[in-house]
Each structure stands twice: as C-alpha cells, then as structure tokens.
Amino acid sequence: MKNIAESMHDFDRENFRRVAAGLPENQEEQSQGEKLKALAGLFNGLFRELCAIFRECMGISTQKTLIGIVIPRDWHE
C-alpha cells in the first residue's frame, strides 16, 4: 500500500509542476482493459492484505476455520 501511495503522490507532484509551468497535465494513456487489470490487481492485493490481517487478529490458522466463522454453516453446505 505504501508504494501505491508514493506513486500517486509522485504523479500528482509532477502534474502540479506541469500545470504551474503552463503545460497540460500528463495523462497516462492506457486501454480500458489495462485499466481494469490494474484495478483488479489493486483490489486483489488489498483483499489479500485484509484477509491476512483479519486472520492474524482473530488467531485463525486455516481457511476452513475462517469460513466456519464468517459464513454460517447452512450457507456453505
């Protein structure tokens, strides 16, 4: 997460410099598919981090235990 925040900060800083110099903002050209892949990667990484933190906080060691806690038994059988 820190790398993403740093990248956004650096990108914003560069755009502010360009606007202050009277130049247009620098827009990254990406296709819709590339944008969706990047967004999916971002959310997958975030989800992995959240799952790891949740498991650690709750003292859960296996995925099966996690499912038993999060999803009531009648939902997944």
Whether the model pTM is above 0.85: no
Q: Return all residues near 49 (Cβ < 8 A) that are at least 6 apart.
A: 1
- For residue 21, the one-letter residue type is A
CA dihedral angle for residue 36, residue 37, residue 38, residue 39, rounded to 10 degrees? 50
pLDDT-based confidence at 77, cuts 50/70/90? very low
Q: CA 75, CA 72: separation in Å to the nearest integer?
A: 6
Sequence-distant (6+) residues with CB within 8 A of 75 are none
Residue corresponding to tokens 């740093």: 6
- 39-53, pLDDT tens digit by residue? 899 898 888 888 888
